[in-house]
Amino acid sequence: MAREKELTFEEALSKLESVVQALEGGNLKLEEALDYYQEGIKLVRFCREQLNKFEHRLQILMAREDGELVVRQLELPEV
């Protein structure tokens, strides 16, 4: 689904939440559920891709003991 590439992270996350709600609702036919599931997987991949891009840009501002502020790369744990 090429459409996800045009979405913002927030829009994709919102769509993903809707997909999850529809799947959890249990009112879908098997074929519909499969379509929702496939869409959800694509949205998850898109969101993960976006998060990885942003992760590399994150920095934190820290104060040293002498009061000087330094910027360093934020290290996030692997998930």
pLDDT in tens, 12-42: 999 999 999 999 998 999 999 999 999 999 9
Q: Which of 46, 36, 37 is nearest to 11 (CA)?
A: 46
What's the maximum distance between 2 C-alpha atoms anywhere in the chain?
Answer: 64
Residue 48: HSE in the Cβ half-sphere, 13 Å Cα cutoff:
8
What was the pLDDT predicted at 1? Answer: 47
Task: Return the ∠ at Cα 60 (arms to 49 and 14), rounded to 5°.
Answer: 35
Compute the distance between CA of residue 28 and CA of residue 24 in angstroms, rounded to an integer.
9
Domains assigned to the chain: 2-73 (1.10.287)
The reply to whether the predicted model has a pTM over 0.85 is no
Average of per-residue pLDDT values in the chain: 84
Query: How high is the pLDDT of residue 39?
Result: 97
Higher-pLDDT residue of 23, 53: 23
- Does the pLDDT value for residue 69 go beyond 90? no
